[in-house]
């Protein structure tokens, strides 16, 4: 209870300052009422859904939208707070000066009126994140992007020169609310006509049943050299409360069965070989391995036990923290690692080829796109779906297409 009182008090301060800009720009009392009515509805809905909330009880669509709309009003108001406080940096000293120099002549009103221009600028700035967040909730989460890369390897088997792979990650099917948009994305994947499709974990939020409405859709994925997958941290059902360990185990078995029904070859610390014209590449798949309290079920040594040191290797590992922690320094040379997990935080700014930023960079060194170290590459997919916040802002859902080429990049 105390933390909710503190929360409401803090939001009250933010709202007080935000409203200063609003009422300076317009004196229309109906708009003032509308401002407070929208605020009350959003905050009330948020408190209703999260008072006493326990993550282990599950996370519904209504929880997601309550959180999303709360963020949509909080971020712009925080921006208004910053601008209004900035104006007070000048107004407060002026008020103090008037208090001591004008005394009763100021009739107790020592503060200079807020400047309408400053409030207009503040509202204009606040409209940018407000619009972006609303767009992210209604459109951005299904704004699928196909990102294409070409990677060169001098030891790539000749038969695989030009070999094309598609990677998707972090489906989080329990978050979806539009079957047609998901079907569109599957068609987009098939349009790439890749040789192989890799899925790098987190098919569901918590329960295998979340995937049931999408089994037929995902079963349409096509790749002539196969479809391979690994588990992500959410696939184990660790984040909700189960009535028994048997039900939790059954849930994981159900998810494995669903992946098989879709056509994925699920690699549980295992490997497979793709062969062409007498040559081969190794596909190594580990279970989830992550730093910072995440499950460490991945066993790289076990997964590659049947792989030769000189094989060309593609590693599927859900969490990119695994790459620098164990993969790069391993005696085996893993040419390409495919990961996901970060979602790019579903929020950031990207200008393709020029600039890329998200707050998640402070948590993960490799958080989106291609990285290289010691002649080894990792691609961190931004995710196919979304989790918690029901949208994406600036970091769009991703379908990665990577073409492998034999030889040097300078050739």
User: What ranges do the domains of the chain cover?
Assistant: 2-138, 144-406
Residue 199's pLDDT band, with cuts at 50, 70 and 90, is very high
pLDDT by residue (tens digit) across 283-292? 999 999 999 8
pLDDT by residue (tens digit) across 23-57? 999 999 999 999 999 999 999 999 999 988 888 88
Q: What residues contact 15, with CB distance under 8 A and at least 6 apart?
A: 39, 77
pLDDT at 107 over 60: no
Residue bearing the bigger pLDDT, 102 or 234: 234
Predicted pLDDT at 105: 60
Which of 154, 70, 210 shows the shortest CA–CA distance to 406? 154
Predicted pLDDT at 187: 98
pLDDT by residue (tens digit) across 9-24? 888 889 988 998 989 9
| Average pLDDT of the residues of the chain | 93
Residue 5's pLDDT band, with cuts at 50, 70 and 90, is confident
Q: What is the pTM of this model?
A: 0.93
**CATH 3.20.20.70 for the 144-406 domain, yes or no:** no
Instruction: Name the one residue in this structure whose structure tokens are 């997601």.
Output: 64
Which of 221, 257, 235 shows the shortest CA–CA distance to 319? 235
Q: What residues contact 117, with CB distance under 8 A and at least 6 apart?
A: none
Residue 109's pLDDT band, with cuts at 50, 70 and 90, is low
CB-count exposure of residue 198 (10 Å: 0-12, 13-18, 19+): buried
CB-count exposure of residue 356 (10 Å: 0-12, 13-18, 19+): middle
Distance between CA 157 and CA 168 in Å, rounded? 24
Predicted pLDDT at 398: 98
Which of 130, 108, 232, 198 shows the shortest CA–CA distance to 404? 198
pLDDT by residue (tens digit) across 251-289? 999 999 999 999 999 999 999 999 999 999 999 999 999
Q: Distance between terminal CA atoms of the chain?
A: 66
pLDDT at 111 over 70: no
Interstrand relation of 312-316 and 336-339 (parallel, antiparallel or unpaired): parallel
Query: Angle CA(155)–CA(158)–CA(164) in degrees, nearest 5?
Result: 95
C-beta neighbour count of 386 within 10 angstroms: 25
pLDDT by residue (tens digit) across 135-182? 999 999 999 999 999 999 999 999 999 999 999 999 999 999 999 999
Predicted pLDDT at 85: 85
Contact assessment for residue 315 and residue 338, using Cβ atoms and an 8 Å cutoff: yes
Distance between CA 341 and CA 111 in Å, rounded? 51
Three-class SS state of 152: strand
Contact assessment for residue 288 and residue 294, using Cβ atoms and an 8 Å cutoff: yes
Predicted pLDDT at 319: 98
The order of strands in the sheet holding 196-199 is 145-153, 398-406, 163-168, 196-199, 227-229, 265-266
Instruction: Name the one residue in this structure whose structure tokens are 């409203």.
Output: 19
Predicted pLDDT at 371: 98
Going by the DSSP 8-state scheme, the letter that residue 316 receives in this structure is: E
Predicted pLDDT at 115: 80
């Amino acid at each position: 209870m105390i933390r909710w009182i503190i929360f409401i008090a803090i939001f009250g301060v933010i709202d007080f300052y935000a409203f200063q800009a609003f009422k300076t720009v317009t004196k229309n009392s109906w708009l003032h009422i509308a401002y407070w009515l929208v605020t009350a509805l959003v905050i009330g809905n948020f408190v209703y859904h999260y008072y006493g909330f326990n993550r282990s009880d599950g996370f519904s669509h209504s929880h997601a939208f309550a959180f999303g709309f709360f963020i949509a009003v909080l971020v712009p108001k925080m921006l208004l707070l910053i601008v209004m406080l900035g104006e007070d940096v000048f107004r407060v000293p002026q008020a103090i000066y008037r208090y001591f120099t004008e005394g009763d002549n100021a009739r107790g009103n020592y503060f200079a009126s807020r400047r309408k221009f400053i409030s207009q600028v503040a509202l204009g700035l606040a409209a940018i994140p407000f619009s972006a967040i609303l767009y992210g909730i209604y459109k951005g989460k299904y704004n699928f992007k196909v990102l294409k890369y070409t990677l060169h390897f001098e030891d790539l088997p000749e038969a695989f020169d030009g070999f094309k792979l598609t990677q998707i990650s972090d489906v989080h099917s329990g978050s979806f609310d539009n079957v047609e948009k998901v079907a569109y994305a599957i068609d987009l994947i098939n349009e790439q006509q890749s040789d192989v499709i890799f899925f790098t974990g987190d098919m569901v939020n918590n329960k295998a049943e979340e995937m049931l409405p999408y089994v037929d859709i995902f079963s349409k994925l096509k790749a002539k050299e196969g479809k391979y997958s690994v588990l992500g941290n959410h696939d184990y059902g660790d984040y909700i409360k189960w009535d028994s360990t048997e039900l939790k185990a059954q849930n994981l078995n159900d998810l494995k069965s669903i992946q098989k029904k879709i056509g994925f070859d699920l690699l549980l610390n295992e490997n497979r070989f793709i062969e062409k014209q007498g040559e081969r590449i190794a596909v190594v798949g580990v279970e989830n391995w992550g730093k910072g309290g995440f499950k460490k079920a991945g066993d790289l040594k076990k997964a590659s036990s049947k792989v030769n040191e000189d094989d060309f290797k593609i590693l599927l590992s859900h969490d990119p923290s695994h790459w620098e922690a164990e993969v790069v320094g391993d005696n085996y040379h893993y040419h390409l690692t495919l990961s996901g997990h970060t979602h790019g935080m579903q929020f950031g700014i990207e200008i393709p080829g020029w600039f890329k930023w998200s707050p998640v960079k402070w948590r993960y060194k490799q958080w989106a796109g291609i990285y290289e170290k010691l002649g080894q590459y990792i691609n961190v997919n931004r995710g196919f779906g979304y989790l918690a916040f029901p949208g994406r802002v600036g970091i769009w859902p991703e379908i990665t297409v990577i073409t492998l080429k034999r030889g040097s990049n300078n050739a």
